[in-house]
Structure 1
Amino acid sequence: MSGGFFHIPSDLQNTYFGLVGLHLREALIPVAAGLLIALPIAQLCVRLRWLYPPVLGVTTVLYAIPSLAFFVVLIDYTGQTETTVMIPLAVYSLVVFIPAIVDGVRSVPQETLDAATAMGLGPVRRYLQVQLPIAAPAIIAGLRVATVSSISLVSVGMLIGNQGGLGNLLHDGQIYHQNRLIWLSVVGTAVLAVLVDALLVLLRIALTPWMPRGSGSRRTKAAGARPGTDTEARPEPAVTALEDAVR
């Protein structure tokens, strides 16, 4: 067990940073897949309001299934592989993404949709170029929750043949009575979650330049900005989305 703080037992057949890469792959691919699946389902729920409650009910029931039970069911079909870990994580993300997207898209003012239609945008272009950009803050908020949750749940994969990324260190830490390995797992997973969440915050800032950056901006807007200030000049999200769609 010698070889430095980041030395990993040979039975894991990986380095510490190799486990970090495995952990990120098993966490982020399901989130991306869940987002792609949720986008068309959420749009159907927006157009067909009666469909939203049953869809939300189904995703909630699926989310209530324990991850270990999900793994046991899938092992007969996908074996002790990364796929067995990633499928439940993608399914779990739907319970976050679908409400976030539906609420975000429904928040788009009707006059904005009417203006987009008057500009000649069809349903698909209106959804992609107007509704989704305006709904971006709500969608990214859901993305942050789903991503952090996925990074945390990946560790459970250690129970099905060392498919848990950094969670594999928890198992070996108990076998070899090495608290160092347990700390590497717990702290490493927490750091990954914080770093990825920070990147998503930066993404939100880049995609939504009209949103205030802090409480100071909110106070300035509430108090009333002087003519010519940046607060007054900042365009509304609906106007920005329409301008981009026209371009």
Structure 2
Amino acid sequence: MNLFADAIAWIFSPDRLTGSLPLPVAIGQHLAFTFGAVLIAAIIAIPAGWAIGHTGRGREFAVALSGAARAIPTLGLVVLLYLLVGVAFKSQAAVFAFVILAIPSILAGAYAGFEAIDRSVISAARAVGMTPWQVLWKVEVPLGLPLLIGGIRAATLQVVATVTIATYVGLGGLGFYILQGIQVRDTAQILGASILVVALALALDGLFALLQRVIVPRGVRAPASVRRPRSAQTAPAPS
């Protein structure tokens, strides 16, 4: 308990606002790397996922590519790219590694959202005279939003946790305090920085949960009674 209290005291210490890397700056760097990587990954993965889901082609290739990307150790990729491109491009090397990490979840969410749509809905849209582009933007994209946002949400949580390794190539972020704490054996600093990473992850998770409620059309969201498993519902009392 004293260790946890020391970690909280470390977070709110006035010393965190000074020094070579003030805490607000470290948090800003951490979020910048996270949002930058997820944004680039989304620009790449969403159109590709929609194309796969809309045409039904390339799914096997996408699954294989996503599996290969998930298998790549992010820290090893960051260090490798850092050694290849040099100090001048270390930020780009780190962001590229985080983009590779984020793409599989977003890609899967994009095409799975389309695949989950009942084919009778697509057939009905075509039957009333909708063009392929109208079917895509007015039917498939809105109905696929829940799984797409879920994929972006998962990717963001993965990246925000992994950005801590950026400090190994001198890029700051909250990982700076963790690595520094390990070097000086300051357990309170290590735990305090870890708590902040967890807090950022929880805050972003809550933000995406709220975004999902705001963006996803109300008719697309299943009511709570539908989402609950049948076995979880209260059985009627015997007569």
TM-score category (smaller protein): 0.7 to 0.9
Q: Which residue of 2 aligns with 1:149?
A: 158
In 2, Cα distance between equivalents of 1:88 and 1:126? 35
User: Once superposed, what is the RMSD of the aligned Cα atoms?
Assistant: 2.9
Q: 1:42 aligns with which of 19, 36, 49?
A: 49
- 1:14 equivalenced with 2:17 (yes/no): no
- 1:102-113 paired onto structure 2 within 5 Å: 102-113=111-122
TM, length-normalised to structure 2: 0.79
Q: Which residue of 1 aligns with 2:94?
A: 85
The Cα shift of 1:9 comes to: 9.4
Q: Secondary structure at the match of 2:174?
A: helix
Q: Which residue of 2 aligns with 1:237?
A: none
**What residue ranges of structure 1 are gaps of 5+ in the alignment?**
224-247
Q: Which residue of 2 aligns with 1:128?
A: 137
TM, length-normalised to structure 1: 0.77
**What residue ranges of structure 2 are gaps of 5+ in the alignment?**
1-9, 235-239
- 1:24 equivalenced with 2:31 (yes/no): yes
Q: Which residue of 1 aligns with 2:210?
A: 202
The answer (yes or no) to whether the contact 2:66–2:103 under 8 Å persists in 1 is yes
The Cα shift of 1:186 comes to: 0.2
Change (3 A) 1:96 1:78: farther
Change (3 A) 1:47 1:199: closer
In 2, Cα distance between equivalents of 1:203 and 1:132? 16
The answer (yes or no) to whether the contact 2:52–2:111 under 8 Å persists in 1 is yes
Change (3 A) 1:114 1:87: same
Identity of aligned residues (%): 20
Does 29-38 or 118-127 show the bigger shift? 118-127
Does 55-64 or 113-122 show the bigger shift? 113-122
The Cα shift of 1:144 comes to: 1.5
For 1:77, the aligned partner's letter is V
In 2, Cα distance between equivalents of 1:104 and 1:119? 23
The answer (yes or no) to whether the contact 2:11–2:192 under 8 Å persists in 1 is no
In 2, Cα distance between equivalents of 1:78 and 1:213? 53
Change (3 A) 1:85 1:147: same
For 2:74, the aligned partner's letter is S
For 2:70, the aligned partner's letter is Y
Q: Which residue of 1 aligns with 2:5?
A: none
Q: Which residue of 2 aligns with 1:190?
A: 198
The Cα shift of 1:3 comes to: 11
The Cα shift of 1:69 comes to: 1.9
Aligned residues: 219
